[in-house]
């Protein structure tokens, strides 16, 4: 097993339903989607004392490096321990080699406090038990370093499920709330947010009278918030099913809410949190008046250009339903189809209720059939993964990469115009090229 530590370059059926229970076309065919390893690209930037060691192939290393776009002199907090031919042939002790890689890594990077061993397709195929390896290495390197593991394998996970698996691995390590505090509600925001967005939300929560708000993941993975009865959980991302279940098993209660995309979604998200924590809605309205006004004004010009434009969402990130609600209600775009890898109806109930009646939803993917439906719909803009974007562009469609909607800070009032611009720019570029 060779270590690639980033010294240089590694930096079909439908049912009639109401608007809140829209019919869903369920497909189980060939998919076009990234594996969960891609989540490392934003998680390694968020958790500043954590390191992600992928146990996989050179293909895994190239995928992460390409997705991250790391410059040659950068030293990010991820690497790949490469499974080579000797490991696959059983000529080497994979566990012994992994121990040596971890030892060298920790000696070189003394700032690491939490080390994630990330499973991949190759480690799944050869049945490498990274769970036991993490337990063994954690005992060896405690108390300085805690070693955890999760799977980012394309066999088990899709694009954003890597974050879900990572955060779910952190939940057992979270301390329990003291018994004396369980009667005092405490807010926990769950889902990776850019630091600038987290800071904005902290200021808004403080303005509405909620100064004690914890975030998961925290900027320091070794300093986790407490959880238990009395914890009120507010999801910032719709793809955290396993994490939410793990937190509920620890006693946390989820706050039903739309997601903080656009003016409407962000206000509803904050109002739901305030209601759960006993804060009057009038306080929220007053505290958010200025940023709401700025965001509404910033959206006005783009709504003029985007209203009436037809948009098609291929399944990729599980952000598709909240994004569809935003572009439909705040930008006036017409939804031709909204696809998602998975539809968690409980976590998306508030979003689904806000979609226009008759919206075509699809869950899962049969890529050839979905391409046929896309061509038949002839949308003005297609939101899809990288693997489909270039072929569709060659056919004359304007496209937006789904991955950009995950990598870019898009949550909150201040980012509403940035989010709208991600849909506006491909259409503006298409018009300029046509002219």
**Spatial distance between the Cα atoms of 164 and 244, rounded to a whole number of angstroms:** 9
The gap from C-alpha 395 to its chain's centroid, in whole angstroms, comes to: 30
**Spatial distance between the Cα atoms of 210 and 293, rounded to a whole number of angstroms:** 22
384 known ligand binder: no
**Which of helix, strand or coil describes residue 227?**
strand
**Spatial distance between the Cα atoms of 371 and 374, rounded to a whole number of angstroms:** 5
Whether the CB-CB separation of 362 and 336 falls below 8 Å is answered with no
Give the chain's radius of gyration (CA, Å): 22
Backbone angles phi, psi at 298, to 5 degrees: -65, -30
Residue 68 half-sphere exposure toward CB, CA atoms < 13 A: 28
Cβ-based burial of 383 (10 A; exposed 0-12, middle 13-18, buried ≥19): buried
The label of the residue with tokens 């439909």 reads: 328
Cα dihedral 221, 223, 224, 228 in deg (nearest 10): 170
DSSP state of 333: P
**Spatial distance between the Cα atoms of 193 and 237, rounded to a whole number of angstroms:** 9
DSSP state of 176: B
60 known ligand binder: yes
374 known ligand binder: no
Locate 216 and state its tokens.
């998961």
Backbone angles phi, psi at 354, to 5 degrees: -95, -5
Neighbours of 160 (CB within 10 A): 29
Q: Residue 231 forms beta bridges with which residues? A: 186
Q: Quick one: three-class SS letters along 66-91?
A: HHHCCCCCCCCCEEEEECCHHHHCCC
Whether the CB-CB separation of 190 and 266 falls below 8 Å is answered with no
Binding residues for [4Fe-4S] cluster: 35, 60, 121
Binding residues: 35, 60, 121
């Amino acid at each position: 097993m060779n270590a690639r530590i980033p010294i240089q370059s590694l930096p079909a059926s439908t049912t009639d339903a109401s608007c809140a229970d829209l019919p869903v076309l369920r497909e189980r065919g060939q998919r076009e989607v990234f594996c969960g390893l891609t989540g490392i690209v934003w998680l390694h930037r968020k958790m500043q004392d954590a390191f992600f060691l992928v146990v996989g192939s050179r293909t895994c290393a190239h995928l992460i490096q390409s997705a991250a776009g790391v410059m040659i002199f950068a030293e990010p907090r991820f690497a790949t321990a490469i499974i080579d031919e000797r490991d696959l042939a059983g000529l080497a002790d994979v566990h012994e080699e992994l121990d040596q890689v971890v030892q060298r890594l920790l000696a070189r990077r003394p700032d690491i406090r939490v080390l994630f061993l990330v499973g991949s397709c190759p480690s799944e195929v050869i049945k490498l038990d990274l769970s036991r390896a993490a337990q063994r290495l954690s005992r060896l390197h405690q108390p300085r370093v805690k070693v955890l593991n999760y799977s980012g394998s394309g066999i088990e996970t899709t694009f954003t499920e890597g974050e879900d698996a990572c955060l779910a691995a952190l939940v057992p390590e979270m301390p329990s709330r003291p018994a004396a505090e369980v009667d005092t509600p405490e807010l926990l925001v769950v889902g990776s947010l850019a630091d600038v967005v987290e800071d904005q939300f902290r200021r808004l929560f403080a303005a509405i009278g909620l100064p004690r708000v914890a975030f998961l993941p925290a900027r320091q993975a070794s300093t986790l918030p407490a959880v238990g009865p009395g914890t009120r959980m507010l999801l910032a991302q719709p793809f955290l099913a396993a994490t939410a279940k793990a937190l509920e098993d620890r006693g946390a209660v989820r706050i039903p809410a739309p997601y903080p995309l656009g003016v409407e979604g962000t206000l509803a998200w904050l109002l739901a949190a305030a209601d759960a924590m006993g804060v009057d809605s009038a306080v929220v309205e007053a505290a958010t008046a200025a940023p709401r006004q700025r965001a509404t004004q910033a959206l006005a010009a783009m709504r003029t250009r985007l209203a009436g434009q037809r948009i098609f969402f291929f399944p990729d990130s599980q952000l598709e339903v909240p994004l569809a609600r935003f572009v439909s209600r705040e930008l006036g775009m017409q939804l031709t189809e909204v696809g998602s890898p998975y539809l968690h109806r409980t976590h998306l109930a508030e979003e689904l209720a806000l979609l226009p009646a008759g919206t075509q939803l699809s869950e899962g993917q049969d890529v050839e059939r979905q391409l046929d439906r896309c061509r038949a719909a002839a949308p003005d803009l297609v939101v899809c993964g990288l693997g489909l974007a270039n072929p569709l562009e060659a056919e004359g469609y304007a496209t937006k990469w789904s991955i950009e909607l995950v990598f870019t800070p898009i949550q909150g009032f201040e980012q509403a115009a940035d989010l709208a611009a991600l849909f506006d720019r491909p259409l503006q570029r298409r018009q300029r090229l046509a002219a």
